[in-house]
């Protein structure tokens, strides 16, 4: 039996809506070729990496358990509070993001794990901000020689080809089930260095229990929603995910 992989996610509602880590582990288990993936998340609403560092729970999880990967997700505007222009939050300079990414990376490396970044998507009403998010994540990932899950790039590419895809919640920011499914496919491709094509597209709602030490503030949307995506849309999202990961690896 292949040894299992263990991945810790540190972030906020972009991860815990629809329970992306658990969705990823379900998808991995649907592939006979993939090693079993055990996931855990330390999450809080609107949390930045700076706030996670100050809270201490994420660092404690890194230090007390064995992980293969620790996946870092910064707040959606790369810091808090963002400047708001015409009702739209703007992307901050990544100075604080990079500072605390370096701190977490040092702790992760000390424990023998690999750092990865969950590159987030732009708000639906501000697609042009994706370029700044890409720059902020890719710059620090290059410096730290970390992995990147180009989730936001995959969202951008998917919406360019099919603008009607329901990736967003009604708030134009958080992920709907299809958006979380695409994120999980990107993460699968990054972690397993392979294609997510052929993975499950129909998954019943899961009331899996979330350990108390994962939650900085409870949110009912942390339970995994049912995935009910047509085969056609699922294959499209899987191909988009693979293309985004391969494109990033090749420098395109």
pLDDT values of the chain reduced to their tens digit, one per residue, 252 residues: 678 999 999 999 999 998 899 999 999 998 877 789 999 999 998 999 999 999 999 999 999 999 999 999 999 999 877 677 777 788 999 999 999 999 999 999 999 999 999 999 999 999 999 999 999 999 999 999 999 999 999 999 999 999 999 999 999 999 999 999 999 999 999 999 999 999 999 888 764 445 544 555 544 445 566 788 999 999 999 999 999 999 998 776
Does an H or E element contain 88, and which?
Answer: strand 88-89
Number of domains in the chain: 1
Q: CA 175 → CA 196, 197, 233, 244, distances in Å?
A: 19, 21, 16, 18
Does an H or E element contain 85, and which?
Answer: strand 84-85
pTM for the model: 0.93
Contact 158, 167 (CB under 8 A): yes
Contact 228, 202 (CB under 8 A): yes
β-bridge mates for residue 43, sequence order: 11, 215
Residues present in the chain in total = 252
Q: How far apart are CA 180 and CA 235, in angstroms?
A: 15
pLDDT at 183: 98
* Burial class of residue 145 in the structure, from the number of CB atoms within 10 Å of its CB (0-12 exposed, 13-18 middle, 19+ buried): exposed
DSSP string covering 166-196: --B-TTSSSB-HHHHHHHHHHHHHHHHTS--
CATH code (residue 238): 3.40.50.1110
Residue the block writes with tokens 């967003």: 168
pLDDT at 220: 47
Q: Which two tokens stand for residue 234?
A: 């699922």
Q: Tell me the residue range of the domain where 183 lies.
A: 5-250
pLDDT at 222: 56
pLDDT at 223: 58
């Amino acid at each position: 039996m292949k040894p299992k992989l263990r991945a810790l996610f540190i972030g906020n509602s972009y991860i815990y809506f629809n329970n992306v880590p658990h969705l990823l582990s379900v998808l991995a288990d649907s592939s006979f070729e993939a090693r079993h993936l055990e996931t855990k998340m330390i999450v809080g609403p609107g949390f930045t990496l700076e706030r996670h560092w100050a809270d201490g729970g994420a660092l404690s999880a890194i230090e007390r358990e064995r992980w293969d990967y620790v996946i870092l997700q910064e707040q959606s505007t790369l810091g808090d509070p963002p400047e708001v222009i015409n009702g739209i939050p703007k992307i901050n300079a990544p100075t604080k993001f990079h500072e605390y990414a370096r701190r977490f990376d040092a702790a992760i490396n000390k424990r023998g794990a690999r750092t990865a970044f969950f590159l987030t998507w732009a708000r639906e009403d501000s697609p042009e901000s994706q370029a700044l998010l890409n720059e902020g994540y890719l710059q620090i990932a290059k410096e730290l020689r970390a992995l990147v899950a180009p989730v936001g790039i995959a969202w951008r590419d998917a919406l360019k080809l099919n603008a009607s895809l329901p990736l967003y919640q009604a708030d134009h920011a958080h992920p709907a089930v299809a958006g979380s499914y695409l994120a999980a496919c990107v993460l699968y491709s990054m972690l397993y260095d392979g294609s997510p094509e052929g993975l499950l597209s129909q998954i019943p709602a899961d009331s899996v229990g979330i350990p108390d030490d994962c939650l900085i503030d409870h949110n009912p949307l942390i339970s995994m929603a049912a995935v009910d995506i047509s085969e056609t849309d699922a294959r499209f999202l899987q191909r988009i995910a693979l293309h985004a990961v391969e494109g990033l690896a090749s420098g395109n």
